[in-house]
């Protein structure tokens, strides 16, 4: 486990600690090898409007492709967890996200400017693996910051 996970969430729940470590290792650090440690063999993106993978079920390799593609414009991105709530096999995470716009997106040339947003993700957990999520985030504010 990472420092982030042990400092904030290990005492309250193994699932919360695992998700905190997942966000840090996979999304913050872009560690594609860590995907195998955190994800089940298939991962379903139940609801994530504006995400190119909305509604899809991905293999671990498919998720790795999503990770690399999603991080490319914002290679220094970081998630800051603000709240975690657990019920049954689901953990709701509210978060803040920031990154620097360093690589072009279709229709948006890179500006080198910082970009920020926030959102909530509800992760589905099966034992010690993530099986999917439902997410809502303010993508409009992101697009407005890309100019």
- The half-sphere exposure of 9 on its side-chain side, counting CA atoms within 13 A, is 25
pLDDT value at 4 more than 50: no
The average confidence (pLDDT) of the chain is 93
Classify the phi-psi angles of 30: left when phi > 0, otherwise alpha if psi is within -120 to 50, otherwise beta: left
pLDDT of residue 12: 83
Cα 117-120-121 angle, rounded to 5 deg: 120
3-145 topology per CATH: Nuclear Transport Factor 2; Chain: A, (3.10.450)
**pLDDT higher than threshold 90 for residue 8:** no
* Cα→Cα distances 124→37, 87, 131, Å: 15, 10, 5
Going from the C-alpha of 34 to that of each of 84, 85, 116, the distances in angstroms are 21, 24, 25
Burial label, 10 (beta-carbon count in 10 A; 0-12, 13-18, 19+) = middle
Integer CA distances (angstroms), 57 to 10, 23, 42, in order: 29, 19, 6
| Across 5-19, 67-81, 88-102, 128-142, least confident range | 5-19
Query: In this predicted structure, what is the pLDDT of residue 51?
Result: 92
pLDDT confidence band for 66 (50 / 70 / 90): very high
pLDDT surpasses 70 at 3: no
**Where exactly are the structural domains of the chain?**
3-145
Mean pLDDT of 107-130: 97
- Spatial CB neighbours of 33, under 8 Å, sequence gap ≥ 6: none
pTM of the model: 0.90
Is the model's pLDDT at 85 over the cut of 70? yes
Percent with pLDDT over 70 in the chain: 93
Q: Has residue 45 got a pLDDT over 80?
A: yes
Q: What is the mean pLDDT of residues 62-67?
A: 98
């Amino acid at each position: 486990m990472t420092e982030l996970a042990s400092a904030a969430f290990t005492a309250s729940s193994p699932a919360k600690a695992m998700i905190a470590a997942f966000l840090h290792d996979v999304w913050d650090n872009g560690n594609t090898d860590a995907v195998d440690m955190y994800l089940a063999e298939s991962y379903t993106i139940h609801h994530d409007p504006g995400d190119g993978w909305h509604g899809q079920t991905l293999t671990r390799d498919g998720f790795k492709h999503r990770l690399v593609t999603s991080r490319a414009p914002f290679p220094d991105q970081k998630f800051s967890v603000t709240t975690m709530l657990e019920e049954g096999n689901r953990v709701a995470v509210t978060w803040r996200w920031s990154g620097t716009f360093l690589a072009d997106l279709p229709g948006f040339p890179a500006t080198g400017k910082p970009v920020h947003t926030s959102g909530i993700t509800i992760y589905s957990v099966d034992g010690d693996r993530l099986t999917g999520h439902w997410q809502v985030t303010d993508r409009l504010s992101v697009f407005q910051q890309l100019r």
